Homo-oligomer: A and B are copies of this chain.
């Protein structure tokens, strides 16, 4: 995930300017359905879409990938989309939000996904008005295969209910994509915790830091969902969400909160892990230094003693000059002294529990 992760125009540019920041590459799928009928149309041109405006059935146009400014412009002319929203779609990295203009709702949802432990976040923009839902997902992989399956079966709730339920379904699916991501994080944290106990080496610090960085960035991208869903639930302006769909939306709200609480919990957990890592590292070093210092300390006084008897005082000059050297048991005495010193120190250190 990028630190800045946002595309923007030069300050002062006209709002709603549709310049393409990355090359357009997209496919479109139009689905028109009601309880009885179901039509699918691949890559329709905007003109073709227009035909569905007044149909009593529900129409869902899903654009996968990054559309071109031209195409959006044409869509906007067909359906009266606001240019600010089109700009938001072209400039990825927007903050999730809900915008209600008259009877038209526009939501931006961030859709996280994890592939090989790499988390990416893609932007999903959804328009909903009348009996029409238009969604644009900047990711390459379509996040809605299960929705198509459910739509194709004539019996599902999705076919029976209105466009607001489709709108909810898309948002809910996008938000639920957070669960596998968080499950992956939980696994990574548990792995790191195991490593922390079994084999705490230096690379762990970077792993923990990397994890915290990702959780921090991910939280920034997902936290505004709480407001978005909350606004949808309140929504006293457009009155676009029916009472029965609202029950499902409340469930979706709970999921949003769950995800954010898990993120927060994981962040606090990694902070705790960092503390444990740091203190276990310093503890380990201390152990090493202690043992090494004890070895050195134990040998320094004996080294002094043998130094003493390496002095060259002239024993012939005086009987007081190093008489020990000619004691018959002098050498043994020195060894006894040295061994005594070493044992004494070791016992003292042991008693003090220094090793």
Contact = CB atoms under 8 A, between A and B. Distances in A.
Contacts of A293: 288-289, 292-293, 296
Contact of A84 (B94, B217, B248, B292): B248
Nearest to A180: B11
A308 B297 CA distance: 17
A254 B179 CA distance: 26
A12 B144 contact: yes
A62 to B, nearest CB: 13
Interface in A209-238: 209, 212-213, 216-217, 220, 224
A45 interface: no
A258 B95 contact: yes
A276 B281 CA distance: 13
Interface stretch (A25-33, A115-123, A132-140, A314-322): A314-322
A299 interface: yes
What copy number does this chain have within its complex? 5
B297 A295 contact: yes
Interface in A74-100: 82, 84, 94-95, 97, 99
| Secondary structure of the A contact surface, majority rule | helix
Interface residues of A, number: 121
B306 A82 contact: no
Interface in A266-321: 266, 268-269, 272, 274-276, 278-283, 285-286, 288-290, 292-297, 299-304, 306-315, 317-318, 320-321
Contact of A275 (B3, B274, B317): B274
A54 interface: no
A99 B250 contact: yes
Contacts of A95: 254, 257-258, 261
Interface in A151-208: 156-158, 169, 172-174, 176-177, 179-180, 182-183, 186, 189-190, 197, 202, 205-206
A318 to B, nearest CB: 3
A8 B2 CA distance: 29
B314 A326 contact: yes
A82 B325 CA distance: 97
29 contacts: A4-B186, A8-B176, A16-B157, A95-B254, A205-B283, A209-B272, A220-B261, A220-B262, A220-B265, A224-B257, A278-B279, A281-B283, A289-B289, A290-B292, A292-B296, A292-B354, A293-B293, A299-B300, A299-B304, A303-B307, A310-B311, A313-B325, A313-B331, A314-B315, A317-B325, A317-B326, A318-B327, A320-B329, A320-B332
Interface of A: 2-4, 6, 8-16, 82, 84, 94-95, 97, 99, 101, 143-147, 150, 156-158, 169, 172-174, 176-177, 179-180, 182-183, 186, 189-190, 197, 202, 205-206, 209, 212-213, 216-217, 220, 224, 247-248, 250-251, 254, 257-258, 261-262, 265-266, 268-269, 272, 274-276, 278-283, 285-286, 288-290, 292-297, 299-304, 306-315, 317-318, 320-322, 324-332, 334, 345, 352, 354
